Protein backbone atom coordinates (compact mmCIF):
# COMPACT_ATOMS: atom_id res chain seq x y z
CA UNK A 1 0.00 0.00 0.00
CA UNK A 2 1.13 3.54 -0.75
CA UNK A 3 0.35 6.42 1.60
CA UNK A 4 0.88 10.02 0.54
CA UNK A 5 1.54 12.64 3.21
CA UNK A 6 0.14 16.10 2.57
CA UNK A 7 1.30 17.43 5.95
CA UNK A 8 3.72 16.45 8.67
CA UNK A 9 2.15 13.60 10.66
CA UNK A 10 3.60 12.60 14.05
CA UNK A 11 6.01 9.68 13.83
CA UNK A 12 4.30 7.74 16.62
CA UNK A 13 1.31 7.40 14.26
CA UNK A 14 3.26 6.57 11.11
CA UNK A 15 5.16 3.77 12.87
CA UNK A 16 1.83 2.03 13.52
CA UNK A 17 1.25 1.55 9.79
CA UNK A 18 2.19 -1.94 8.56
CA UNK A 19 5.88 -2.17 7.67
CA UNK A 20 4.92 -3.10 4.09
CA UNK A 21 3.30 0.32 3.52
CA UNK A 22 5.30 2.89 1.55
CA UNK A 23 4.83 6.33 3.09
CA UNK A 24 6.04 9.73 1.90
CA UNK A 25 5.35 13.14 0.40
CA UNK A 26 6.48 12.16 -3.10
CA UNK A 27 4.36 9.00 -3.38
CA UNK A 28 2.28 8.64 -6.55
CA UNK A 29 -0.67 6.33 -7.32
CA UNK A 30 -1.41 6.35 -3.62
CA UNK A 31 -4.01 4.14 -1.92
CA UNK A 32 -4.32 6.40 1.09
CA UNK A 33 -3.72 10.03 2.06
CA UNK A 34 -2.78 11.40 5.47
CA UNK A 35 -3.49 15.10 5.85
CA UNK A 36 -3.81 17.75 8.49
CA UNK A 37 -4.71 21.21 7.13
CA UNK A 38 -3.58 21.07 3.48
CA UNK A 39 -6.43 22.06 1.15
CA UNK A 40 -7.37 19.11 -1.08
CA UNK A 41 -10.32 20.74 -2.85
CA UNK A 42 -8.43 21.26 -6.10
CA UNK A 43 -6.42 18.02 -5.90
CA UNK A 44 -6.92 15.46 -8.67
CA UNK A 45 -7.05 12.11 -6.91
CA UNK A 46 -5.62 9.00 -8.63
CA UNK A 47 -7.97 6.07 -9.26
CA UNK A 48 -5.92 4.04 -6.80
CA UNK A 49 -7.01 6.29 -3.92
CA UNK A 50 -9.29 4.44 -1.49
CA UNK A 51 -9.18 6.60 1.64
CA UNK A 52 -8.17 9.93 3.14
CA UNK A 53 -7.50 10.24 6.86
CA UNK A 54 -7.47 13.68 8.44
CA UNK A 55 -5.46 14.05 11.62
CA UNK A 56 -7.97 16.45 13.15
CA UNK A 57 -11.68 16.95 13.56
CA UNK A 58 -12.72 19.45 10.85
CA UNK A 59 -12.87 18.21 7.26
CA UNK A 60 -13.56 21.46 5.40
CA UNK A 61 -10.21 21.11 3.60
CA UNK A 62 -11.42 17.87 1.95
CA UNK A 63 -14.08 17.52 -0.80
CA UNK A 64 -16.04 15.02 1.29
CA UNK A 65 -19.06 14.59 -1.00
CA UNK A 66 -16.95 14.29 -4.16
CA UNK A 67 -14.94 11.60 -2.36
CA UNK A 68 -18.11 9.69 -1.48
CA UNK A 69 -19.20 9.76 -5.13
CA UNK A 70 -15.84 8.23 -6.08
CA UNK A 71 -15.94 5.65 -3.28
CA UNK A 72 -13.12 7.32 -1.35
CA UNK A 73 -13.66 6.96 2.39
CA UNK A 74 -12.82 10.08 4.43
CA UNK A 75 -11.85 9.64 8.08
CA UNK A 76 -11.31 12.18 10.86
CA UNK A 77 -10.17 11.85 14.46
CA UNK A 78 -13.00 13.14 16.67
CA UNK A 79 -11.95 13.89 20.22
CA UNK A 80 -8.25 13.23 19.66
CA UNK A 81 -7.29 16.88 20.02
CA UNK A 82 -10.26 17.98 22.12
CA UNK A 83 -8.31 18.58 25.31
CA UNK A 84 -5.76 20.77 23.51
CA UNK A 85 -8.47 22.97 21.99
CA UNK A 86 -10.37 23.07 25.30
CA UNK A 87 -7.29 24.29 27.16
CA UNK A 88 -6.69 27.07 24.63
CA UNK A 89 -10.35 28.08 24.88
CA UNK A 90 -10.01 28.39 28.66
CA UNK A 91 -6.91 30.52 28.12
CA UNK A 92 -8.86 32.62 25.59
CA UNK A 93 -11.61 33.29 28.14
CA UNK A 94 -9.06 34.69 30.55
CA UNK A 95 -6.90 36.47 27.95
CA UNK A 96 -9.83 38.40 26.53
CA UNK A 97 -11.33 39.16 29.92
CA UNK A 98 -8.23 40.47 31.64
CA UNK A 99 -6.83 42.33 28.61
CA UNK A 100 -3.69 40.22 28.92
CA UNK A 101 -2.39 40.69 25.32
CA UNK A 102 -2.61 44.51 25.52
CA UNK A 103 -1.10 44.50 29.01
CA UNK A 104 1.79 42.35 27.81
CA UNK A 105 2.44 44.70 24.92
CA UNK A 106 2.56 47.59 27.37
CA UNK A 107 4.91 45.71 29.71
CA UNK A 108 7.33 45.19 26.82
CA UNK A 109 7.66 48.96 26.41
CA UNK A 110 9.20 49.11 29.87
CA UNK A 111 12.31 47.20 28.85
CA UNK A 112 15.40 48.88 30.32
CA UNK A 113 13.33 51.66 31.97
CA UNK A 114 14.64 52.36 35.50
CA UNK A 115 11.16 53.64 36.50
CA UNK A 116 9.41 50.50 35.25
CA UNK A 117 7.89 49.49 38.58
CA UNK A 118 6.56 53.01 39.23
CA UNK A 119 5.04 53.15 35.76
CA UNK A 120 3.43 49.74 36.26
CA UNK A 121 1.51 51.04 39.26
CA UNK A 122 0.56 54.24 37.46
CA UNK A 123 -0.66 52.61 34.26
CA UNK A 124 -2.25 49.41 35.48
CA UNK A 125 -5.71 50.94 35.67
CA UNK A 126 -5.75 50.91 31.84
CA UNK A 127 -5.81 47.13 31.89
CA UNK A 128 -8.61 46.34 34.30
CA UNK A 129 -10.75 43.44 33.08
CA UNK A 130 -13.56 41.44 34.69
CA UNK A 131 -13.32 38.06 36.39
CA UNK A 132 -15.13 35.22 34.70
CA UNK A 133 -16.51 33.70 37.91
CA UNK A 134 -20.25 34.28 38.12
CA UNK A 135 -20.52 35.31 34.47
CA UNK A 136 -22.48 33.40 31.85
CA UNK A 137 -20.75 31.44 29.10
CA UNK A 138 -22.76 30.31 26.08
CA UNK A 139 -21.31 27.25 24.36
CA UNK A 140 -22.49 26.57 20.81
CA UNK A 141 -21.69 22.94 19.96
CA UNK A 142 -21.35 20.39 22.75
CA UNK A 143 -19.09 17.80 21.13
CA UNK A 144 -15.82 16.65 22.65
CA UNK A 145 -14.36 20.19 22.57
CA UNK A 146 -17.43 22.27 23.43
CA UNK A 147 -18.47 19.85 26.17
CA UNK A 148 -14.98 20.02 27.65
CA UNK A 149 -15.03 23.82 27.60
CA UNK A 150 -18.48 23.84 29.24
CA UNK A 151 -17.32 21.55 32.06
CA UNK A 152 -14.10 23.52 32.59
CA UNK A 153 -15.98 26.82 32.71
CA UNK A 154 -18.31 25.41 35.39
CA UNK A 155 -15.26 24.45 37.43
CA UNK A 156 -14.09 28.08 37.14
CA UNK A 157 -17.37 29.28 38.64
CA UNK A 158 -19.20 30.32 35.49
CA UNK A 159 -22.83 29.72 34.69
CA UNK A 160 -22.87 27.73 31.47
CA UNK A 161 -25.55 27.54 28.77
CA UNK A 162 -25.06 24.88 26.12
CA UNK A 163 -26.68 24.63 22.68
CA UNK A 164 -26.37 21.60 20.42
CA UNK A 165 -29.41 20.14 18.64
CA UNK A 166 -27.21 17.31 17.29
CA UNK A 167 -25.42 16.28 20.51
CA UNK A 168 -24.51 12.59 20.56
CA UNK A 169 -25.41 10.32 23.45
CA UNK A 170 -21.72 10.08 24.39
CA UNK A 171 -21.42 13.87 24.44
CA UNK A 172 -24.52 14.16 26.61
CA UNK A 173 -23.10 11.65 29.11
CA UNK A 174 -19.80 13.53 29.31
CA UNK A 175 -21.50 16.85 30.03
CA UNK A 176 -21.78 18.09 33.62
CA UNK A 177 -25.45 18.14 34.62
CA UNK A 178 -25.01 21.74 35.77
CA UNK A 179 -24.66 22.86 32.14
CA UNK A 180 -28.04 24.36 31.22
CA UNK A 181 -29.13 22.86 27.91
CA UNK A 182 -31.00 25.39 25.78
CA UNK A 183 -33.04 24.63 22.65
CA UNK A 184 -33.21 28.18 21.45
CA UNK A 185 -29.97 29.66 20.10
CA UNK A 186 -31.30 33.15 20.78
CA UNK A 187 -31.08 32.43 24.50
CA UNK A 188 -27.33 31.91 24.09
CA UNK A 189 -27.05 35.27 22.33
CA UNK A 190 -29.28 37.15 24.78
CA UNK A 191 -28.03 35.73 28.08
CA UNK A 192 -24.29 35.20 27.62
CA UNK A 193 -21.40 37.44 28.66
CA UNK A 194 -19.04 35.17 26.74
CA UNK A 195 -19.90 33.01 23.72
CA UNK A 196 -17.69 30.27 22.33
CA UNK A 197 -18.35 28.31 19.13
CA UNK A 198 -17.34 24.67 18.69
CA UNK A 199 -19.18 23.59 15.55
CA UNK A 200 -17.89 22.55 12.11
CA UNK A 201 -18.03 24.87 9.14
CA UNK A 202 -21.32 23.98 7.40
CA UNK A 203 -23.81 26.00 5.37
CA UNK A 204 -25.94 26.10 8.55
CA UNK A 205 -23.16 27.40 10.81
CA UNK A 206 -21.28 29.80 8.52
CA UNK A 207 -21.64 33.38 9.74
CA UNK A 208 -23.18 32.34 13.05
CA UNK A 209 -21.12 35.10 14.66
CA UNK A 210 -22.48 37.86 12.49
CA UNK A 211 -25.15 40.43 11.72
CA UNK A 212 -28.53 39.74 13.28
CA UNK A 213 -27.08 37.34 15.85
CA UNK A 214 -24.57 39.92 17.11
CA UNK A 215 -27.42 42.43 17.38
CA UNK A 216 -29.17 40.09 19.86
CA UNK A 217 -26.10 39.78 22.09
CA UNK A 218 -25.42 41.59 25.35
CA UNK A 219 -23.46 44.82 25.12
CA UNK A 220 -19.81 44.12 25.84
CA UNK A 221 -20.02 40.43 24.95
CA UNK A 222 -16.74 38.57 24.45
CA UNK A 223 -16.64 36.09 21.56
CA UNK A 224 -14.35 33.11 21.11
CA UNK A 225 -13.80 31.27 17.83
CA UNK A 226 -11.42 28.32 17.93
CA UNK A 227 -13.46 26.40 15.35
CA UNK A 228 -13.26 27.84 11.83
CA UNK A 229 -12.74 31.29 10.23
CA UNK A 230 -16.00 31.40 8.31
CA UNK A 231 -18.18 30.98 11.40
CA UNK A 232 -17.65 34.72 11.88
CA UNK A 233 -18.43 37.60 9.56
CA UNK A 234 -15.32 39.77 9.80
CA UNK A 235 -17.00 43.05 8.89
CA UNK A 236 -19.72 42.51 11.51
CA UNK A 237 -17.16 41.58 14.17
CA UNK A 238 -15.16 44.74 13.41
CA UNK A 239 -18.29 46.89 13.48
CA UNK A 240 -19.26 45.32 16.83
CA UNK A 241 -15.82 46.01 18.26
CA UNK A 242 -15.94 49.57 16.98
CA UNK A 243 -19.33 50.26 18.56
CA UNK A 244 -18.47 48.53 21.84
CA UNK A 245 -21.17 45.89 21.34
CA UNK A 246 -18.33 43.35 21.34
CA UNK A 247 -15.67 43.88 24.01
CA UNK A 248 -13.23 41.36 22.53
CA UNK A 249 -13.01 38.75 19.79
CA UNK A 250 -10.65 35.86 20.22
CA UNK A 251 -9.95 34.01 17.00
CA UNK A 252 -7.63 31.12 16.17
CA UNK A 253 -8.16 32.11 12.51
CA UNK A 254 -6.86 35.65 11.98
CA UNK A 255 -7.87 36.84 8.52
CA UNK A 256 -6.07 39.84 7.03
CA UNK A 257 -9.07 41.97 7.93
CA UNK A 258 -9.00 41.00 11.62
CA UNK A 259 -5.30 40.68 12.43
CA UNK A 260 -3.97 43.60 14.44
CA UNK A 261 -7.37 45.25 14.91
CA UNK A 262 -8.24 46.70 18.32
CA UNK A 263 -10.14 44.20 20.42
CA UNK A 264 -9.03 41.22 18.34
CA UNK A 265 -6.93 38.64 20.13
CA UNK A 266 -5.56 36.17 17.60
CA UNK A 267 -3.47 33.04 17.47
CA UNK A 268 -2.40 31.21 14.29
CA UNK A 269 -4.63 28.09 14.38
CA UNK A 270 -2.92 26.72 17.49
CA UNK A 271 -5.90 24.93 19.03
CA UNK A 272 -4.56 21.45 18.37
CA UNK A 273 -0.88 22.36 18.35
CA UNK A 274 0.29 20.41 21.35
CA UNK A 275 2.58 17.39 21.17
CA UNK A 276 -0.11 15.34 22.90
CA UNK A 277 -2.86 16.24 20.42
CA UNK A 278 -0.60 15.80 17.40
CA UNK A 279 0.35 12.34 18.65
CA UNK A 280 -3.25 11.36 19.46
CA UNK A 281 -4.52 12.49 16.06
CA UNK A 282 -1.71 10.76 14.18
CA UNK A 283 -2.25 7.47 16.02
CA UNK A 284 -6.01 7.53 15.44
CA UNK A 285 -5.74 8.57 11.78
CA UNK A 286 -3.09 5.94 10.98
CA UNK A 287 -4.92 3.14 12.83
CA UNK A 288 -8.21 3.89 11.06
CA UNK A 289 -6.56 4.19 7.65
CA UNK A 290 -4.63 0.93 8.06
CA UNK A 291 -7.66 -0.99 9.34
CA UNK A 292 -9.62 0.11 6.28
CA UNK A 293 -6.89 -0.55 3.72
CA UNK A 294 -6.00 -3.95 5.20
CA UNK A 295 -9.35 -5.24 6.53
CA UNK A 296 -12.01 -3.01 5.01
CA UNK A 297 -13.25 -1.90 8.45
CA UNK A 298 -14.58 1.66 8.74
CA UNK A 299 -14.54 3.67 11.96
CA UNK A 300 -14.92 7.45 12.28
CA UNK A 301 -15.63 8.18 8.65
CA UNK A 302 -17.42 11.41 7.79
CA UNK A 303 -18.87 10.15 4.49
CA UNK A 304 -19.44 6.41 5.00
CA UNK A 305 -21.12 4.36 7.75
CA UNK A 306 -19.17 2.62 10.51
CA UNK A 307 -18.83 -1.05 9.57
CA UNK A 308 -16.65 -3.69 11.23
CA UNK A 309 -16.35 -7.41 10.58
CA UNK A 310 -13.97 -9.80 12.35
CA UNK A 311 -11.74 -11.89 10.05
CA UNK A 312 -12.37 -15.62 10.06
CA UNK A 313 -12.77 -16.72 6.43
CA UNK A 314 -10.60 -17.00 3.37
CA UNK A 315 -12.12 -14.35 1.09
CA UNK A 316 -13.20 -10.87 2.01
CA UNK A 317 -14.75 -8.09 0.00
CA UNK A 318 -15.85 -4.49 0.58
CA UNK A 319 -18.52 -2.87 -1.60
CA UNK A 320 -19.31 0.86 -1.64
CA UNK A 321 -22.58 1.51 -3.45
CA UNK A 322 -25.50 3.86 -3.74
CA UNK A 323 -28.19 3.23 -1.12
CA UNK A 324 -30.78 0.77 -2.46
CA UNK A 325 -28.31 -1.17 -4.62
CA UNK A 326 -28.82 -4.92 -4.29
CA UNK A 327 -25.79 -7.22 -4.42
CA UNK A 328 -27.05 -9.67 -1.76
CA UNK A 329 -27.12 -12.72 -4.01
CA UNK A 330 -23.53 -12.12 -5.08
CA UNK A 331 -22.08 -11.85 -1.58
CA UNK A 332 -24.18 -14.43 0.33
CA UNK A 333 -22.84 -17.58 1.96
CA UNK A 334 -20.68 -16.25 4.77
CA UNK A 335 -20.48 -13.35 7.23
CA UNK A 336 -21.72 -9.91 6.36
CA UNK A 337 -21.84 -6.43 7.91
CA UNK A 338 -23.34 -3.35 6.35
CA UNK A 339 -24.33 0.21 7.06
CA UNK A 340 -25.92 3.13 5.24
CA UNK A 341 -25.24 6.81 5.57
CA UNK A 342 -26.02 9.88 3.50
CA UNK A 343 -27.24 7.90 0.50
CA UNK A 344 -24.35 5.40 0.44
CA UNK A 345 -24.22 1.81 1.65
CA UNK A 346 -21.04 0.01 2.60
CA UNK A 347 -21.07 -3.74 2.77
CA UNK A 348 -18.26 -5.91 4.07
CA UNK A 349 -18.54 -9.64 3.43
CA UNK A 350 -16.39 -12.72 3.86
CA UNK A 351 -16.82 -16.36 2.93
CA UNK A 352 -14.77 -19.41 2.00
CA UNK A 353 -15.85 -19.42 -1.65
CA UNK A 354 -14.30 -16.79 -3.92
CA UNK A 355 -16.34 -13.69 -4.84
CA UNK A 356 -17.05 -12.83 -8.45
CA UNK A 357 -15.67 -9.28 -8.27
CA UNK A 358 -16.46 -8.42 -11.89
CA UNK A 359 -20.09 -9.49 -11.48
CA UNK A 360 -20.45 -7.29 -8.36
CA UNK A 361 -18.81 -4.35 -10.15
CA UNK A 362 -21.28 -4.65 -13.02
CA UNK A 363 -24.34 -4.10 -10.78
CA UNK A 364 -25.77 -0.61 -11.34
CA UNK A 365 -25.14 1.62 -8.31
CA UNK A 366 -21.95 -0.14 -7.25
CA UNK A 367 -19.16 2.43 -6.92
CA UNK A 368 -16.14 0.51 -5.69
CA UNK A 369 -15.35 -3.12 -4.94
CA UNK A 370 -12.21 -4.06 -3.01
CA UNK A 371 -10.85 -7.48 -2.11
CA UNK A 372 -9.04 -7.76 1.22
C1 LIG B 1 -9.25 20.34 13.88
O2 LIG B 1 -9.98 20.40 12.91
O3 LIG B 1 -9.16 19.31 14.55
C4 LIG B 1 -8.48 21.54 14.28
O5 LIG B 1 -8.67 22.59 13.43
C6 LIG B 1 -7.08 21.29 14.61
C7 LIG B 1 -6.07 21.26 13.53
O8 LIG B 1 -6.25 20.68 12.51
O9 LIG B 1 -4.99 21.83 13.72
Q: Determine the distance separating the centroid of ligand 1 and the alpha carbon of 251, expressed in angstroms.
A: 14
d(CA 155, CA 173): 17
Which residue, judged by its Cα, is nearest atom 8 of ligand 1? 56
Nearest-atom number in ligand 1 for the CA of 37 is: 8
d(CA 345, CA 366): 9
Q: Determine the distance separating the centroid of ligand 1 and the alpha carbon of 44, expressed in angstroms.
A: 23
Q: Determine the distance separating the centroid of ligand 1 and the alpha carbon of 56, expressed in angstroms.
A: 5
Q: Tens digits of per-residue pLDDT, 43-78?
A: 999 999 999 999 999 999 999 999 999 999 999 999
d(CA 44, CA 224): 35
d(CA 314, CA 349): 11
Name residues of the chain where pLDDT drops below 70.
none
Q: Write out residues with Cβ below 6 Å of ligand 1.
A: 36-37, 56-58, 81, 269, 271-272
Q: Which of 10, 35, 58 to mutate to test the pocket of ligand 1 (most atoms within 8 A of CB)?
A: 58
d(CA 132, CA 129): 9
d(CA 320, CA 292): 13
Task: Check: CB of residue 335 under 8 Å from CB of residue 312.
Answer: yes
Q: Any idea what DSSP says for residue 157? A: T
The backbone torsions φ and ψ at residue 6, rounded to the nearest 5 degrees and listed phi first, read: -100, -10
pLDDT of residue 286: 98
Nearest-atom number in ligand 1 for the CA of 273 is: 9
The backbone torsions φ and ψ at residue 321, rounded to the nearest 5 degrees and listed phi first, read: -150, 165
Q: Which of 81, 82, 144 to mutate to test the pocket of ligand 1 (most atoms within 8 A of CB)?
A: 81
Task: Check: CB of residue 363 under 8 Å from CB of residue 355.
Answer: no
Q: Determine the distance separating the centroid of ligand 1 and the alpha carbon of 273, expressed in angstroms.
A: 8
Nearest-atom number in ligand 1 for the CA of 281 is: 3
Nearest-atom number in ligand 1 for the CA of 81 is: 3
d(CA 103, CA 107): 6
Amino acid sequence: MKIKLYNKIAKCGLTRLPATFQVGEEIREENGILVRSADLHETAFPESLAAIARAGAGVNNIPVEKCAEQGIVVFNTPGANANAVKELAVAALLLTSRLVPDAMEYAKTLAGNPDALKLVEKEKSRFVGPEIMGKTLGVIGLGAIGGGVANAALALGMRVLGYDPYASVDAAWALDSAVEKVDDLDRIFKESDYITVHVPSLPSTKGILGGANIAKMRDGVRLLNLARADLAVDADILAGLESGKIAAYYTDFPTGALAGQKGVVATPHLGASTPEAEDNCAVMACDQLADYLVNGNIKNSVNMPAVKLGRSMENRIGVIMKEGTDVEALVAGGNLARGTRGGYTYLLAERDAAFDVEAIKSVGGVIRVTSY
